Amino acid sequence: MKRQIDNECKAFLRFFELADEIGHDIPGASFVRSQKFEQLLYGFSENWPFEEIIGGLAIAQHHGIPTRLLDFTHSGFVAAYFAASDTIANMEKGEPADQFSVWAVNLDFIKHAWGYWLQRRLKIVEVPLARNPFLGAQRGFFIYDSRVFSQFASEIDFTIEKIKPLDEVICTHAEGEGAWHNLDDIGISCIPPIMHRFDVPLGEVDKLLSLLYEAERISKAHLMPTLDNVSATLKFMDQVSEKAFSTDL
């Protein structure tokens, strides 16, 4: 686990340093430059990622740097677009698939289970949209497990197989930790399942992307608005529409 933390930290620092070099303002910059941050790099810390750099880590994750933050969106349509388009990209790389999936999560549970912020195991991360217009267009946010390493703090053998996936933490492990008790105390009712997976047959991928574009105005150009993505979207949608409806005639 220490190696994983080291790798995450180094990846973030490389992103931060180059972004800073070319003039981008990354949240948490003053902390990254502080002596405290430098000292924390030399030892294992179950508190990674540090609260002071969560905003910067979220932006790094959004731009392709690997972190433990998981991407979510407030829009099911946006989630469906990314699931479908990622499936097409993976298939072009030779990765087989017979369906793609969209996960939904009950945010009332995430926001209130385990008590107040410092006690909360699962945390939501949102960054200022003025610093990241793409994330605003995507209505995006992030969720992460703040205690992913706490169960290993006294162990020598840290193995990746022991880490519980998010759906298990939410649907199963939460009950053993008493995460539900606080919900009862504040009068919030969360009826299982807290997470739900929607599976879509692969044969529907092109039709779904066409309908999202035509009916909801969701595409790469809308979610990552640049002129390059406008031309890329027009070309991509021509290909998708031809495949989606050619068999309907």
pLDDT along the chain (249 residues), means of 10: 78 92 88 80 68 87 89 95 92 87 90 78 84 87 81 46 75 75 74 85 92 95 94 91 63
> Within this chain, do residues 108 and 179 fall inside the same structural domain, yes or no?
yes
Domain contains 43 = yes
Verdict on whether the full-model pTM lies above 0.85: no
> Within this chain, do residues 14 and 122 fall inside the same structural domain, yes or no?
no
Which pLDDT belongs to residue 48? 77
> Within this chain, do residues 131 and 172 fall inside the same structural domain, yes or no?
yes
Which pLDDT belongs to residue 157? 45
Which one, of 129, 91, 86, lies nearest residue 220 by Cα? 86
Domain contains 148 = yes
| Domain count across the chain | 2
Domain contains 108 = yes
Which pLDDT belongs to residue 1? 62
Tokens of 201: 């047959």
Which pLDDT belongs to residue 152? 45
> Within this chain, do residues 102 and 195 fall inside the same structural domain, yes or no?
yes
Domain contains 206 = no
Structural domain boundaries, residue 27 = 1-66
Q: Pairing mode, if any, of strands 140-145 and 70-73?
A: antiparallel
**How many whole angstroms separate alpha carbon 60 and alpha carbon 172?**
30
Last residue of a domain, one of 19, 47, 66: 66
> Within this chain, do residues 108 and 39 fall inside the same structural domain, yes or no?
no
> Within this chain, do residues 91 and 124 fall inside the same structural domain, yes or no?
yes
Token pair 């990254």 in the structure block, residue: 32
Which pLDDT belongs to residue 52? 85
Q: How far is CA 28 from CA 16, 59, 60, in A?
A: 10, 11, 12
Q: Terminal CA-to-CA distance of the chain, rounded, Å?
A: 55
Domain contains 4 = yes
Which pLDDT belongs to residue 72? 94
